[in-house]
Amino acid sequence: EERKNVINELSEMRKQLRSEERRLQEQLLNVASHDNLPITRRREKNPRDIFEMARLRLQAPVRRPSLKEAQDPVNIQNIWEFNELKYKGRNVNLGNKCKFHIFAPDPETRMVLRHMYPDPPKDDQTLDIQQQALLREQQRKLDKMRMRRE
């Protein structure tokens, strides 16, 4: 009898984990497609032992991280905008369901940047490195133009 109860409790916990996994996958897809909806989170005043709750057949509270904890939406937007700038005039595939094509001239500085950094930035650090490299290339081009004028 007790073994049957434990199996039932584990089955319920498995269902809850699957539900949470689906919710997180949907959240990731929403973040990737820029549907950044705020997620509210409720905390219990008196946290309980998860196993005690399972024994009493109570649903355990699930802590859902805020979007800031997952990744700051502003930074995701910055990465998206930088990738648009970097890959203008090209077909770009940034992973599942993140494909776009932009028609625009392809200046020399972008070509140099894409040659130096062929992969799109995926986090704050790589974004910063690639932005600095783009700025350096643009500064070099400006310096060349000034030298030609003089």
| 42 and 93 within one domain | no
Residues paired with residue 99 on neighbouring β-strands, in sequence order = 93
Judgement on whether residues 18 and 58 belong to the same structural domain of the protein:
yes
Mark which of 27, 47, 70 sits at the end of a domain.
70
Range of the domain at 57: 2-70
pLDDT at 119 over 60: yes
Q: Is the pLDDT of residue 93 over 70?
A: no
Residues 55 and 87 in one domain: no
Per residue in 10-45, pLDDT tens? 888 888 887 787 777 777 666 655 444 444 444 444
Q: Does 93 share its domain with 124?
A: yes
Residue with tokens 């990744």: 71
Q: Say yes or no: 88 and 131 in one domain.
A: yes
Position 72 scores a pLDDT of 56
Q: What is the mean pLDDT of residues 107-122?
A: 77
Domain count, the chain: 2
- Whether 17 and 57 map to the same domain: the answer is yes
Whether the model pTM is above 0.85: no
Domain boundary among 12, 36, 70: 70
Residues 52 and 118 in one domain: no
Tell me the H-state helices in the chain: 2-32, 50-55, 67-70, 73-86, 108-116, 124-149
Instruction: Identify whether residues 64 and 115 lie together within a single domain.
Output: no
How high is the pLDDT of residue 46? 53
